[in-house]
Structure 1
Amino acid sequence: MNRTYKITCALTVLTLALAGCAGKTNKAPEVKPNPLPKLTQAKTLVPVFSTNVSATEAADPLRLRLGADQGLIFAIDPKGEVSAFNGKQRVWQKKVAQDSLSAGVEAADGIVVVGTNKGKLLALDQKTGEQKWTAQLTGAILAPSLIHAGRVITVSNDGTVYAHEATTGTQVWTYNLPNVQFSLRGMAAPVPLDARNILIASANAYIYVIDAISGVPKMQRRVAVSDGRSDIQRLVDIDGEPVVAGQFVVTTSYQGQVTVLDLASQQVVWSEDASSIQRPEVVGNGVFVAQSNGKISAYEITTGQPLWENDQLLNRQLSNPVMLGNELVVGDLEGVLHLIDPRNGQIVGRAKTSGEVRTLRVIDNQLYVSTRKGALSIWQNR
């Protein structure tokens, strides 16, 4: 049984298409999303930018995202194109790959970095779109790279972490994550820990601290466990990026826990059962998690005490939550952006885009939205 087959099976479990892996014809029971709750005097968001690119497959976990740097907005099309915008005006558009673009966009230090499903890593000039360099990795690239400390850090789907010089593309080091027998098709993007070090989360429920310049590992720590009886039930991948909040690192895992780790002691402060493949959000003393079943939970960061729980969006396949201004925002399978009061979990507003929301991020107090249908948009508070 090869690795690709294993990964596809795990994803099938996640999406409840239980007949796919073993070739059975039994249909999975239909799970209907909760209807939208009625709102009175609802707040909304104002769109300030939008463009459309090619859609991704429903079963594909890709979370392609918009990027921004030096006043430009960068968009990626799965069919191999990258574009740059100044406001709503397109500055350049380049066909950069014959393979499907499967990761990006990451923009910093004058370059834009994207990756393909055949493991090709490309760096483009931000101003012109001209290719600066390319590199071939040993596995598909399913998560955006990180540009940090003069390095481009990328994790390929075979568990190899690569570092390339940002200016030349020269490979500087690699680090091999432990191989796992089963994992979800997906990968958490690398995140910065401090000026020199990075955090990598893996399918074996560990996080790793690695020196971005030298590739020397500094720490590894398990942050989730699973007590399932079968290999599938014991899947405990970390597919959402860890969040660094002062002395703490916050992680979520599929069929595992939301966990807070103290960086100084390298000890787990607290851990609570919660299944999620999404990046958590941390604001002030609050940890906010969109669980796989559509439940949104909030915890106090130092104690793990539950602050509130919202189950109005069950089975709506929620995106990662983000904080925009004074509201928490989460997207769903119908393209609805829900505005939530972070103090009590009450839904206070909504806006609508097109297609299942895959990725939310906030840059300069604006909401960047990417959907499976290929709708890329930027929103701000009214």
Structure 2
Amino acid sequence: MTPSMRSRKTIKATVMHVAVLALMTTAVVGCNRGIKPVVNEPVKLVQIAQPISLLQPVFNVSVDNKKAIKQDPLSLQVGYDNEQLVVASRGGDIIGFDNTGKRLWSINIGKPITGGVTVDAFSQTAIVSTRDGQVLAFDTTTGAKRWEQQLSGSVLTPALITNNRVILSANDGFLHGLSLQTGQSVWQFATQVPAISIRGTAAPVLLDAKTALLATADGRLHAITADNGLPQWSRRIGVGMGSSEIERMSDVDGMPIVDSNQLFAISYSGQLIAIDLASRQVMFVQELASLKALAVNNKQVIASSLDGKVVAYDRRTGQKLWENDALAYRKLTNPVMIGNHIAVGDLEGVVHLFDPATGTIVSRVQTKGALTTLQVKNNRLLTQSTSGQVAMWQVAR
């Protein structure tokens, strides 16, 4: 058996373990026969020998109550521009803060919010979406509602605002383009919905000034003109292998990354792909499974895998540069670049900072509650935990 064949079998086994484990857990709850699936316990953290101070806190606030926290474990992301943050809670609160954490306004829409917040600084508009597929726009300075629109399915990720369009990916396979000014539907784009997929969708991103890039549950990337929803191209990157629908799951739930005319994306079925956008040719494919967005710097593309590894590859050749398994099974967030270091969060609210040259953990900061997504805006790190803690850090001086 060749090394590449062993690697493919390892990836497939990892993906199958996670999928079957989820289904086994559901079956046990339903039939109550006392069957206990094997669960990999998260590794315990090892103290850093000589930690260095890399991040200093800007503020930390709580936006959820205990009742709201139990409603939905989905990730909620913070909307942020240079001067203001807009934060949503699972209980339906939408709160405006200045960049020091001072509360400016607060409203409650009476429905659970699922898609986080997107802020457009130019139009001073914040967009949120709800569990029942409602999309709402608010004035970021006052909290006044500007419009609302009902979609065919719920939206589980933040919108993309570009070219006077609000672009959203719904969990029923439809992509929507709405007018930023009125909320009116301008276009819809239907994608194939597999019979079984992971709950969640990737947030749409800009491919270029006029084109949105959307990843879907069938393992594809779609490039669509933002203004009118016309398809430009489509490419499959997730390829599930096997005889069952579970084995063939190929979701792309991690937001694709576009940087320096290169496109990077990763799938649940175990393909990390790099594409040269000038030629639209594949630069490399590496076998790694993840549901989280990638991070890039000048030399590397960095991923957090399903089983809790943090791995760095050369962004041009795909050569593996280092791998760190010190956070195995700790339900890692997406990696991000903050300052000159890589940050990854975990299920205990710890943010770990890695030296990108060696892959060594050199620093940590702590918040309260499990982290699902990290964001970096204007060189500040933003987190919102599942327990409702919103925190901001900046690079220490």
**Does the 8 A contact of 2:88 with 2:113 survive in 1?**
yes
Which secondary structure does the structure 2 equivalent of 1:235 belong to?
Answer: coil
Other-structure match for 2:93: 81
Other-structure match for 1:153: 167
1:250-329 matched pairs, under 5 angstroms: 250-329=264-343
Question: C-alpha deviations, 1:4-24, integer Å up to 9, x for none?
Answer: xxxxxx998387462305734
- Separation in 1, partners of 2:208, 2:263: 12
> Once the 2 structures are TM-superposed, how far is the Cα of residue 289 of structure 1 from its aligned partner?
0.2
Amino acid at match of 2:50: Q
Amino acid at match of 2:25: A
> Once the 2 structures are TM-superposed, how far is the Cα of residue 228 of structure 1 from its aligned partner?
3.0
Match of 1:68 among 80, 84, 87: 80
Other-structure match for 2:61: 51
> Once the 2 structures are TM-superposed, how far is the Cα of residue 41 of structure 1 from its aligned partner?
2.3
Cα gap change, 1:269 to 1:12, in 2 (>3 Å): closer
Q: Is 1:335 the equivalent of 2:349?
A: yes
Which secondary structure does the structure 2 equivalent of 1:351 belong to?
Answer: strand
- Separation in 2, partners of 1:212, 1:89: 35
Higher mean alpha-carbon deviation, 316-325 vs 260-269, is at 260-269
5+ long unaligned stretches in structure 2: 1-15
Other-structure match for 2:46: 37
**Does the 8 A contact of 2:82 with 2:378 survive in 1?**
no
**Does the 8 A contact of 2:85 with 2:97 survive in 1?**
yes
> Once the 2 structures are TM-superposed, how far is the Cα of residue 359 of structure 1 from its aligned partner?
1.2
> Once the 2 structures are TM-superposed, how far is the Cα of residue 38 of structure 1 from its aligned partner?
2.1
Other-structure match for 1:123: 137
Other-structure match for 1:6: none
CA RMSD, 1 decimal: 1.9
Amino acid at match of 1:285: K
Amino acid at match of 1:300: D
Amino acid at match of 2:114: S
Amino acid at match of 1:93: S
How many pairs does the alignment contain?
A: 372
> Once the 2 structures are TM-superposed, how far is the Cα of residue 265 of structure 1 from its aligned partner?
2.8
Other-structure match for 1:7: none
Question: C-alpha deviations, 1:278-310, integer Å up to 9, x for none?
Answer: 000011120000001000111111111101100
- Separation in 1, partners of 2:23, 2:225: 40
Q: Is 1:247 the equivalent of 2:265?
A: no
1:177-216 matched pairs, under 5 angstroms: 177-216=191-230
- Separation in 2, partners of 1:184, 1:261: 25
Q: Is 1:90 the equivalent of 2:103?
A: yes
Amino acid at match of 1:125: D
Cα gap change, 1:17 to 1:180, in 2 (>3 Å): closer
- Separation in 2, partners of 1:14, 1:366: 38
Cα gap change, 1:20 to 1:219, in 2 (>3 Å): same
- Separation in 1, partners of 2:209, 2:237: 23
> Once the 2 structures are TM-superposed, how far is the Cα of residue 230 of structure 1 from its aligned partner?
1.9
Amino acid at match of 2:177: A
Other-structure match for 1:351: 365
Q: Is 1:19 the equivalent of 2:33?
A: no
Question: C-alpha deviations, 1:126-157, integer Å up to 9, x for none?
Answer: 11110000000001111110101110001111
Which secondary structure does the structure 2 equivalent of 1:19 belong to?
Answer: helix
Other-structure match for 2:7: none
Considering fraction of residues, name the structure with more helix.
Answer: 2
- Separation in 1, partners of 2:24, 2:69: 18
- Output the TM-score relative to the length of structure 1: 0.93
Cα gap change, 1:105 to 1:290, in 2 (>3 Å): same
> Once the 2 structures are TM-superposed, how far is the Cα of residue 188 of structure 1 from its aligned partner?
0.4
**Does the 8 A contact of 2:254 with 2:294 survive in 1?**
yes
> Once the 2 structures are TM-superposed, how far is the Cα of residue 57 of structure 1 from its aligned partner?
6.2
Higher mean alpha-carbon deviation, 132-141 vs 62-71, is at 62-71
- Separation in 2, partners of 1:57, 1:235: 29
- Separation in 2, partners of 1:14, 1:197: 37
Match of 1:222 among 236, 252, 262: 236
**Does the 8 A contact of 2:21 with 2:37 survive in 1?**
no
Higher mean alpha-carbon deviation, 273-282 vs 85-94, is at 85-94
- Separation in 1, partners of 2:48, 2:273: 33
- Separation in 2, partners of 1:315, 1:141: 27
